Amino acid sequence: MLEKFVVRGRNRLRGEVNISGAKNAAVAIIPATILSDGVCTIENIPNINDVTLIARILKEMGADVSMVDKTTMKIDSNGISSPVATCESVKRIRASSYLLGALLGKFHKAKVLSPGGCNFGVRPIDQHLKAFSSLGAKCKVESGVIDIKAEKLIGSSVYMDTVSVGATINALLASVKAEGTTVIENAAKEPHIVDLANFLNSMGADIMGAGTDSIKIKGVKKLGGTTYSIIPDQIEAGTYMVASAITSGDVLIKNVIPKHLESITAKLEEIGAEVTVFSEAVRVKASNVLKKCTIKTMAHPGFPTDMQPQFASLLSVSDGTSIITEGVWENRFKYVEELNKMGANISVEGKVAVIEGTAGKSLIGAPVKAIDLRAGAALILAALTCEGKTTIDNIEQIERGYEDIVFKLSSLGGDIKKVFVPGDESLDLELAL
């Protein structure tokens, strides 16, 4: 059976929604358990397909992985005896690249299939390999397999030519048990980098400066078990903030770290939404048609590229001409064609999208396809404003990263249903690890 979302728009969202644990932190922390000699209990795990997949990969490699309750995962990675990850699942998720750093850190060797993930154009790993080489490893890529070996890992200065979340995470994983001190310069500063460093420190690592562009890692001999709670998901929170704004709603978004949402909050306020910030929640309220704005996506603390498609939906029904420049990825506007099928007026020239807002006039429901995770979220947001019915295909992309999205939006008054239609068997990704 194929699964689709059917959304009927024009309802104002109201009420409260709880944000789940951060996907991008979870998919780094789970492979990081490979470095531990003990048992790791990880709390606030989001129930999403990317997490299921990365946990399943660890399990296939020999780890003992179990759910203690709905949001707590226990991992004992001591059963992983070989530094090889070449099962098919590896190709389906970008975060499987973190197996490289974790296996290298533990075994001084790693053999991992080239990772998958959202297709935003070329997704190079040269900076990951550069970091491993700086620590003394030899890397080769042959027939889609990345093969890395080191006699020993020696702490060193790792200078990133470009700010990369993935390469920073891999450099942390590979250096945490290296001999001596490593300094990562021009490091990424995303909240999930800090979360991973805190997790590693809770296992006994010695990492300072995560969240700045210079991270210092003093190698330790051993990492033990830990109990650690993952931060809330910045992008899920941002998506519900836009859901409230786009439906002229009034939603309290709970279990968030407002500091992580500052760039999103600033843009919403700039276009006329009312955002009230509490210590662990934000309330987004909009009553009038919102205004145009200019956005350029950047590494943290700039405006996150992973919120770019959702804002394209919002600006499509705002007043005036908005401009979004994609500053991180080479090709992240493939979803525009789908939004335009719903009556949006967006034209793209290279990395710049020009959006002619409808000034509050409804978009029209249409059959559309989720090109990738955040693009899929953008279609749901647009569908919430539409006259008529929108059917969204390829929803496994959305379920990679949004926990219980049907339940959460429905409880706010959104009209969204998951339907099953005859077709190819879709992959069974239940959290039965």
Outline where DSSP puts E strands in 44-191. 64-69, 72-76, 84-85, 109-113, 138-142, 145-149, 157-159, 181-185
118 catalytic per annotation: yes
Query: Least distance (Å) from ligand UD1 to the CB of residue 137?
Result: 15
Nearer to ligand UD1, 101 or 225 (CB): 101
Nearer to ligand UD1, 328 or 344 (CB): 328
> What is the rounded (10 degree) CA torsion for 313, 319, 325, 327?
-60
Residues 6+ apart with CB under 8 A from 221: 177
* Selected catalytic residue, list 118, 139, 293, 386: 118
Q: Is 274 helix (H, G, I), strand (E, B) or coil?
A: strand
Question: Which residue minimizes CB distance to ligand UD1?
Answer: 166
How is 393-422 classified by DSSP, letter by letter? E-THHHHTT-TTHHHHHHHTT-EEEEEEES
Query: Least distance (Å) from ligand UD1 to the CB of residue 354?
Result: 22
Closest to 170 (Cα-Cα) out of 231, 138, 129, 122: 129
Residues 6+ apart with CB under 8 A from 91: 113, 114, 115, 116
The binding site for ligand UD1 (CB under 6 A) comprises 24, 27, 94-95, 123-128, 162, 164-167, 188, 305-306, 328-329
Query: Least distance (Å) from ligand UD1 to the CB of residue 4?
Result: 24
Judge residue 422's burial from the number of C-beta atoms within 10 Å of its C-beta, 0-12 exposed, 13-18 middle, 19 or more buried. exposed
Do residues 411 and 374 lie in contact, with contact meaning Cβ atoms separated by under 8 Å?
no
Do residues 227 and 247 lie in contact, with contact meaning Cβ atoms separated by under 8 Å?
no
What is d(CA 351, CA 30) in angstroms, rounded to the nearest whole number?
A: 33
What is d(CA 407, CA 425) in angstroms, rounded to the nearest whole number?
A: 24
Query: Least distance (Å) from ligand UD1 to the CB of residue 367?
Result: 26
Nearer to ligand UD1, 162 or 288 (CB): 162
How is 210-230 classified by DSSP, letter by letter? BTBSEEEEE--S----EEEEP
- The single-letter DSSP state of residue 342 is T
Do residues 338 and 371 lie in contact, with contact meaning Cβ atoms separated by under 8 Å?
yes
Query: Least distance (Å) from ligand UD1 to the CB of residue 86?
Result: 20
Query: Least distance (Å) from ligand UD1 to the CB of residue 161?
Result: 7
What is d(CA 129, CA 411) in angstroms, rounded to the nearest whole number?
A: 45
Nearer to ligand UD1, 62 or 124 (CB): 124
Beta bridge partners of 263: none
Query: Least distance (Å) from ligand UD1 to the CB of residue 281?
Result: 24
Nearer to ligand UD1, 16 or 126 (CB): 126
Do residues 182 and 155 lie in contact, with contact meaning Cβ atoms separated by under 8 Å?
yes
What is d(CA 251, CA 51) in angstroms, rounded to the nearest whole number?
A: 27
Query: Least distance (Å) from ligand UD1 to the CB of residue 402?
Result: 13
What is d(CA 59, CA 79) in angstroms, rounded to the nearest whole number?
A: 9
Residues annotated as catalytic are 118
